[in-house]
A = this chain, B = another copy of it.
Amino acid sequence: MGTKESDGVDPRVLRTRRDVVDAATELFVTEGWSVVTHAEVARRAGYSKATVYAHWPTRLDLMRASIGKICDEADHPEPTGDLRADLVRGLVDFAEDLAGGHLDRVLGGLLERSGSDPVVDELRRRLYEAGTRSLEGVLRSHLPEVDVEPSLALLVGGVLTRGAFQGRPATEEFVADLVDRVLASTGRGEEG
């Protein structure tokens, strides 16, 4: 990812960009959107504020770069071909990212600012798509004849609601039960 952007760019500029985006992403993920200021990112990355402003004139530019990095690094295991097992594994990963990887903070930051700026809405959609691409692919490959978006909304939403709003862990047992329910609703409950 990012190959096109880096073609012909001074390696020092690339390093600066990488350091600053790393610092902004770390700040966003651990402390939340409102903490990501040019001053704080510059301080943490070890560059001047002027340098940060030169590359990313607005806070939204910093957020776009951070979310790009989060999307590029989204880790998707290879599907095994077992529909139920692949869905359970993907959703357990998602639940762990919510609980321990601070994904709740990232999604919350985007949700809080949604509707206020089309760029934010675009970032939110991009993050959702990057995060769910693998699950969507698994569903589509096994259920080519159906619209998988409702199933995806139920699965992703069920895990999100459990972990983020019911305040209870989305354990593997809970996730497997959700998957069985959703597969049953698509007529695939007996498989796997």
Contacts and interface: CB of A to CB of B under 8 A. Distances in A.
B165 A124 contact: yes
Contact of A111 (B34, B107, B151, B154): B107
A114 B164 contact: yes
Interface in A143-177: 149-154, 156-162, 164-168, 174, 177
A133 to B, nearest CB: 13
A128 B111 CA distance: 16
A89 interface: no
What copy number does this chain have within its complex? Answer: 2
A79 interface: no
Contact of A156 (B34, B102, B165): B165
14 contacts: A105-B113, A107-B165, A108-B108, A124-B167, A125-B165, A128-B167, A150-B178, A153-B162, A154-B157, A154-B161, A156-B161, A157-B159, A157-B161, A180-B185
Interface of A: 31-34, 102, 104-105, 107-116, 121, 124-125, 128, 149-154, 156-162, 164-168, 174, 177-178, 180-182, 184-186
Contacts of A116: 31-32
B158 A112 contact: no
